Amino acid sequence: MKTFFILPFFLSCHEKKTEPQQKETFIIRKNHVIIADNDPVLKKIITETVSEQEYSNSIISAGTIETIPNNYAEIASPFSGRVIRSFVNIGQSVKAGSPVFEILSPGYSSVQKEYSDALNDARLAEKNYKRQQDLVKHGVGIQKELEETETEYKNKKTSLANAASTLNAYNSKGSGGTYIIKAPISGEIISNRIVSGQYLKEDSEPVVIIAELSKVWITGAVKEKDIRFISPGDPVSVKVNTYPDMEITGKVYHISELVDEETRSIKVLIQCDNPQRKLKPGMFAAVTYSAGTEKAVVIPSGALMQEGDHQYVWIKTGRNEFVKQIVSPGSTYEKTIRITSGLKPGDIIMTQGGIYMPDTK
Q: Which domains does the chain have, with CATH numbers?
A: 20-49+304-356 (2.40.420.20), 59-67+213-292 (2.40.30.170), 72-211 (2.40.50.100)
pLDDT digits (tens, 9 = 90+) for 112-158: 677 777 888 888 888 888 888 888 888 887 888 888 888 888 888 88
Residues 325 and 303: their CA atoms lie apart, in Å, by 11
Residue ranges of the alpha helices (H) in 217-279? none
pLDDT, tens digit, for every residue of 314-338? Answer: 999 998 999 999 999 887 777 888 8
Q: What is the pLDDT of residues 21-80, one digit of tens each?
A: 444 578 888 778 998 888 888 889 999 999 888 777 778 889 999 999 999 999 998 878
| pLDDT confidence of residue 4 | 42
Mean pLDDT across 86-99: 94
What is the per-residue pLDDT across 181-207, written as a single tens digit (0 to 9) for each? 899 999 999 999 999 889 888 778 999
What confidence score (pLDDT) does residue 250 get? 93
Q: Which residues contact 107 (CB under 8 A, 6 or more apart)?
A: 78, 79, 80, 81, 202
Terminal C-alpha separation, the chain: 46
* Measured CA distances, 232 to 54, 235, 249, 251, 351 (Å): 24, 9, 14, 7, 40
Average pLDDT, the chain: 84
CA distance 257 to 254: 9
**278 residue type, one letter:** K
H-helix or E-strand spanning residue 324: strand 321-333
